[in-house]
Amino acid sequence: MTKNAKQKTEVESSADALAGAARGPHIRLLIENLSSPQAVERERSRVELVAYGAPAVPDLLGTLGAADERSRLEAAKALAEIADPLAIPTLIQCLEDDHQDLRWVAAEGLLNIGGPAIEPLLLALIDRAWAHTILDGAVHVLRGLSRRVSDPIFEPVISAALRAPEPGVNVPPAAETALTTWRDIWNRAESTRAVSISPILEPRKDKPWYDRRR
């Protein structure tokens, strides 16, 4: 590396570090504004957080553990639009939240994330279907995913959740079967290196009303 190139790299690194240092407090301020009583202020802050993308995700995840339902819902909407796989475990936990709107938004976020969310969701159903609360949100996600795959991988799970007399008993084995099938498809996709996620999962065509991604 030439001396000029090295200096340029050092300058760019310093600029990135300064930008990162300034970004943190602004993200936290925007997150504070998610609890504003003014809908316009909440919307503006959420749009800015979505524009930040991945750097805003850790603070948004922390907000989902707060007591204020308004800020939790807005944070979930932002996470759903950003669609970062880092949010998958927390969004799955939100499928069992007492707040119905939050459960719905969390399901939409998992749909936006797509392929990487499938295995964790099926594992959660294997472990948590007995509690029943997770089922509505999980069925919403699996129905959306079913429209994006060519094989009826998730249909037995959906059927067990909606029509079986004891879903807490019938969903886990159906989810285990679906998980085995999905892992086989995922591994084949990874071995071909055709795409970064999975060739069987079509892009999502529908979007929730708050999703501004193009």
Are 161 and 171 in contact by the 8 Å Cβ rule? The answer is yes
Instruction: Provide the whole-model pTM.
Output: 0.81
Tokens for 113, please give them.
């994330």
Domain ranges of the chain: 1-82, 87-214
Local mean pLDDT, 10-residue blocks, the chain (214 residues): 48 40 79 93 95 95 88 96 96 95 96 94 96 94 90 94 92 96 83 51 67 51
CB 72 within 8 Å of CB 39: no
Looking at residue 133, what is its pLDDT?
93
User: Which amino acid, one-letter code, is at 120?
Assistant: P
Cβ–Cβ < 8 Å for 66, 72: yes
pLDDT tens-digit readout, 139-184: 999 999 998 888 899 999 999 999 988 999 999 999 999 999 999 8
Architecture of domain 1-82: Alpha Horseshoe (1.25)
Which residue is associated with the tokens 């892992």?
183
- pLDDT recorded at residue 201: 72
Closest alpha carbon to 138 in 172, 180, 184, 188: 172
Q: Check: CB of residue 111 under 8 Å from CB of residue 139.
A: no
